[in-house]
Amino acid sequence: MRLTRPNWVKHTDDKDRRSPIFSISVHPDGTRLATGGLDKKVKIWSTLPILDKETDENEANHKLLCTMSSHTGSVLAVRWAHHGRFLASGSDDTVIVIWGIDPDGGGRVFGSDEVNVENWKALTRLVGHTADIIDLAWSRDDSMMASVGLDKLVWIWDGQSFDRLRKIDLHGDFVKGVCWDPVGNFLATQSDDKTVKIWDTANWNLVHSVSAPFKNSPKSTFFRRLSWSPDGAFIAASNAMNGPVFVAAVIEREGWNADISFVGHGNTIQVAAFNPRLFFREGDDPGRATASCMLALGADDFSISIWRNTLHKPVVVLADVFNRPLLDLCWATDGHQLYGCSADGTICAISFDDAELPELAEIEKTELVLNEYGYKPVRKSVPRPIQSQTPVNGFGPQPSGSHVNVIQPRKGKSKAQSLTSQKRRVELGGFGPPADSHDAFSSGQLQPLGSGQDHTARMFEDAHAAFGDNSAGPSNLGQKRKASLSNDDHRQYKGRTMGSSRSDVDVKEIRAPRVVVSGDGSRGRTLPVPRVQTLLRVKSTYDESLYLEAENSEDAKGKTRVALSQDGQNQWLDFMPGPVIAMVLSESFCAVGCEDGMVMVYSPAGRHIKLDSSIAEMTGNRDKLFVITASCTCHILDVKSGKSLFPPVSMSHLLGDHNISSISVRPHGVPIITTSHPCAYAYDTMRDAWTPLTSSWWLESSPLADRRSRPGPSGPLADIEGEVSRLWKGNQISEGEKPEWWDVALELGHLESKVRAAELLQSKEEYKFWLIRVAGILGREGFRARAEELIKDLLGPLYSHPGRDAWVSTVIGLQRRDLLKQVLTTFAQSTSLSGLAQHYQGIMKEIAAEASEL
């Protein structure tokens, strides 16, 4: 085994510093490696200099093959199709880009000194998600592609026309991982709602939801990348817990049991990746009963472990491979190379020799095993792409004598021009789909190939023919692309409701809302309004059998039916004059929002409410309803009393050029908005202003943001900070950039902001914890004046004065002087503040003595 860390593979920021690499994918022929990073770019690298030292040392060999810059946000996922002609990339700009190679392209990258040896062009942009796209996966025959993201949605796309086939909206939190069953029967997704859900690819019904291994899993990982074994027998799911131990859960196909796990990492596991080849012992007949698999796991403890499912211990553990969490892993199709990338901006390549993998089987053996399932997918007819004589994507007929760019290493004049020990690894057979492949470009050509050069040559030939005049009829590709880039595609609801589980209802979009935004929003920022769908359903979080449902009529003159149901039986019915676009079901009330801005609240104090414009976001908690209108106006209603907690307030200034990531409301009525900046705000009614709870500034600057710092208690503030941390994709300020006293000043400021945030959220445990931490740093640094100010605030006046405002002896239900006792105990442990602590401890004893005499 050989570990390589090529320092020339990197993504950089404006100051040429390394930035995180979020995703990595190796081409099926093994010669190209795609990476996506914080710099908003997709890069393609040659693997030859990575795998062969002599090739690396010869400057004649190209290392960076292409840089693509069509995304406007960080690239979080890159995935090659199994046929190798398409590369898909997903970004936090909410767009998926499908790339194809232009055989005659290349040249200098605009605005850069980089030169593209190859030119990969954006063939189309897929619009559907409304938040960061976290993961992508192609089905094994490339007939479909799945995408998941922070909008809690799963989108299914046609792998050839790239039309939207299905939207799945049944996860309750961010969806951070997706993988296909190699048999073709199922799709698996993993979410921060602490479940892995299995979907039937025939009708997209939910087959099973696995939750037991993830009940205690933290939400600290940015990814939950899972993997399906190449024999289809089980799934390896990341970020699972076995008691206090971090594990990868094994979900068996038969019964979806999750009783087995891979144990050994010291921190959360972000990614699981199966070797695409199966293993058979010598003398065994290939089959499901004799097949075994190899699995790689990457974790936040900076290590990689590699396992065989037939062994109780890992085959190898590579500790401290990176300096920051590992974010993605991928295997080469030949099963001999494993690639990984990290938040520290580097990648690694792990290579195995033939002698180390003696039981590795040919790819054809995988086909034999998968055929034993006897699954025959129903192929729906999808039109082939049609192209005129002048292709819109720049791919035309190949000129005579055009050079096919097959990558070959150069090792000096006296050396052979081909690799020796590495030749088989980069000139390998493609991972071909079954003979009944749905891919319209294959025409039976996607069977395993003889060499990587054959595969590469075919990729270029197919690029010429893919959108050439190989089909009769007019071109409509350009029109589709224009439609996908229209503004309306970005104005989609963020998935607050879920589609019906009834098999007789086909949930679809009817149209965009007809309402016109009014009020202040017409002169400034407006928010997207949910599209009108045939059916909306939201389930109760406290009773799984209870759900609220609205059926909108496709007829413009039809009425909308609203019903609260339990165990399939309607509890009550109501009818609306217009379509419903948003709903809330809390413990105390139901609410529906209509496209004309009317909100109907069903409760003992239920009533119609007319807002200033149509609803963009709506949520509830107990008896509090939080609504944001399209004109960026926030409304908080106490359903129990039927009154607003404060006048409508604008939040447009919080967004700037960013979007809303999530909203919530605390039981006492404090609204919380998390933006994609990222930053989280709460409205402080005492100050009539939005107060930051946490932001990317603290993540970038504060020592408390370091993963090794002491963690705080669980609570609403910790949850909000965790969400903002997952949205943040930057780097902490390096030690060399910090001026004198930076860490002390930022730590104290961050702690004080946590105390204020916990008070605003009325989180008692978090308030006490962070208040004592403030006392700790004041004592450590000897800040006497600030310490005495804190003491006096908690102590209050020693004598009462008639006519003056009465002192409030509690803060969020906690006695101030009880808190003071803990603060003074902390100060007493400080050399510089021990005298101050003793003085006020004496005062506290006198107060206690006087109180006992009364």
Tens-place pLDDT, residues 295-339: 999 998 889 999 998 888 889 999 889 988 999 999 999 999 999
Closest of 276, 278, 358, 269 to residue 317, by C-alpha: 269
Q: pLDDT digits over 134-155, tens only?
A: 999 999 999 999 999 999 999 9
d(CA 61, CA 83): 25
Lowest mean pLDDT among 336-350, 361-375, 440-454: 440-454
The mean per-residue pLDDT over the stretch 78-107 comes to 87
The mean per-residue pLDDT over the stretch 564-585 comes to 87
pLDDT value of position 523 = 44
C-alpha distance from residue 648 to each of 441, 466, 619, 684 (Å) = 56, 55, 16, 13
Per the model's pLDDT, the better-predicted residue between 507 and 381 turns out to be 507
pLDDT value of position 687 = 85
* Res. 676: pLDDT tops 60: yes
d(CA 39, CA 35): 11
pLDDT value of position 708 = 47
Angle of the 816-828 helix axis to the 764-781 helix axis, nearest 10: 30
* Res. 811: pLDDT tops 90: yes
pLDDT value of position 506 = 62
The mean per-residue pLDDT over the stretch 20-38 comes to 94
Q: Where are the alpha helices (DSSP H) in 637-684?
A: 652-655
pLDDT value of position 554 = 84
In single-letter form, the type of residue at position 641 comes to S
Q: How confident is the model at residue 470 (pLDDT cuts 50, 70, 90)?
A: very low
Q: How confident is the model at residue 284 (pLDDT cuts 50, 70, 90)?
A: confident
Pairing of strands 95-102, 119-127: antiparallel
Lowest mean pLDDT among 353-367, 595-609, 774-788: 595-609
Pairing of strands 671-675, 679-684: antiparallel
Query: What percent of the chain is modeled with pLDDT above 70?
Result: 79
Query: Residue 602, SS3?
Result: strand
pLDDT value of position 375 = 83
pLDDT value of position 542 = 77
d(CA 380, CA 93): 31
* Res. 412: pLDDT tops 90: no
Q: Is the peptide bond before 577 cis (omega within 30 degrees of 0)?
A: no
pLDDT value of position 511 = 66
Lowest mean pLDDT among 382-386, 459-463, 634-638, 781-785: 382-386
User: Encoding tokens for residue 144?
Assistant: 């479909």
pLDDT value of position 112 = 55
d(CA 121, CA 464): 13
- The residues pairing with 141 across neighbouring beta strands, listed in sequence order, are none
Q: How confident is the model at residue 374 (pLDDT cuts 50, 70, 90)?
A: confident
Lowest mean pLDDT among 14-28, 95-109, 708-722: 95-109
Q: pLDDT digits over 110-122, tens only?
A: 445 567 888 888 9
- The alpha carbon of 242 is separated from its chain's Cα centroid by a whole number of angstroms, namely 23
The mean per-residue pLDDT over the stretch 246-275 comes to 91
pLDDT value of position 118 = 87
d(CA 616, CA 631): 9
* Res. 798: pLDDT tops 50: yes
Mean residue pLDDT of the chain comes to 81
The mean per-residue pLDDT over the stretch 716-735 comes to 87
Spatial contact of 343 and 327, defined as CB atoms under 8 Å apart: yes
Q: Exposed (0-12), middle (13-18) or buried (19+): which is 428, by Cβ within 10 Å? A: buried
* Res. 389: pLDDT tops 70: no
Q: At which residue do the structure tokens 């009393």 appear?
A: 641
* Res. 395: pLDDT tops 70: no
pLDDT value of position 328 = 95
All structural domains of the chain: 1-20+211-361 (2.130.10.10), 21-93+95-128+392-490 (no CATH), 510-645 (2.130.10.10), 774-853 (no CATH)
The mean per-residue pLDDT over the stretch 699-723 comes to 80
Return the H-helix or E-strand segment holding 95. Answer: strand 95-102
Q: How confident is the model at residue 510 (pLDDT cuts 50, 70, 90)?
A: confident
User: Encoding tokens for residue 421?
Assistant: 């020990």
Lowest mean pLDDT among 312-316, 427-431, 538-542, 675-679: 427-431
C-alpha distance from residue 488 to each of 90, 166, 213, 528, 777 (Å) = 20, 18, 40, 9, 51
Angle of the 784-795 helix axis to the 764-781 helix axis, nearest 10: 150
Q: pLDDT digits over 60-72, tens only?
A: 788 899 999 989 9
Q: pLDDT digits over 413-451, tens only?
A: 443 333 333 333 333 333 333 333 333 333 333 333 334
* Res. 482: pLDDT tops 90: no
Q: How confident is the model at residue 753 (pLDDT cuts 50, 70, 90)?
A: very high
- The alpha carbon of 787 is separated from its chain's Cα centroid by a whole number of angstroms, namely 42
The mean per-residue pLDDT over the stretch 701-723 comes to 80
Q: pLDDT digits over 759-788, tens only?
A: 999 999 999 999 999 999 999 999 999 999
pLDDT value of position 414 = 41
Q: How confident is the model at residue 686 (pLDDT cuts 50, 70, 90)?
A: confident
